[in-house]
Amino acid sequence: MGVNKFYMNSAHGKAVGAGGPTCVTCHGSHGIQRASLDLISKKYCSTCHTFEKARMIRSAMLKRDTMLMAIEKKIQILKLQGVDTDQLEKRLFALRNRFHAMFHSLDIKMIILESDHIQAELEKARGAGGMGTGPMTGTVAIGGALIAALLFYLIKKNI
């Protein structure tokens, strides 16, 4: 489900015809703000209602947002080490889009359930591609390959 469907099915989307918030209300009309937890704040939410429900949504999403950023940094480190990260980047991109689309639902139960599902996917992504093993794995693999090549060369030279 995309952002528009989440939004249109939410209390905000259903109130659009009656003066409810539109995209511009939260994201702005010129310096468009990217979907982030910063948008779920007293500044934006308290103009129309109390911040309590928004606070619950924000806290449900905070841990996953932090994990998304941490995995993104790990992928960048792997990329700098020469590891092919295309699949990890695509997987993370899809999870991030699904996660940010949820911001627009305002359904706390659904957000908690979907956040738990995304958490499980993030745990899989964290373990994929040796992300949990650290930078030494690549060094050991390259060192092993060099030693094997050297042994092969010496054996071939002596034959």
The domain ranges of the chain are 3-158
Dihedral, 26, 31, 35, 39 alpha carbons, nearest 10? -40
Query: What confidence score (pLDDT) does residue 51 get?
Result: 86
Structure tokens at 12: 């905000």
- Residues 111-156 have pLDDT tens digits of 777 777 777 776 776 665 544 445 545 555 555 555 555 555 555 5
The mean predicted confidence, pLDDT, of the chain is 76
* Nearby residues of 45 by Cβ (< 8 Å), 6 or more positions away: 51, 54
Burial letters 98-114, b for 16+ CB under 10 A, else e: ebbbbbbbbbeeebeeb
Provide φ and ψ at 148, rounded to 5°. -60, -40
Confidence at 97, pLDDT banded by 50, 70, 90: confident
Kind plus residue range of the DSSP H or E element containing 58? helix 52-80
Residues 6+ apart with CB under 8 A from 26: 33, 39, 44
Q: Residue 11 — very low, low, confident or very high, per pLDDT cuts 50/70/90?
A: confident
Residues 6+ apart with CB under 8 A from 23: 7
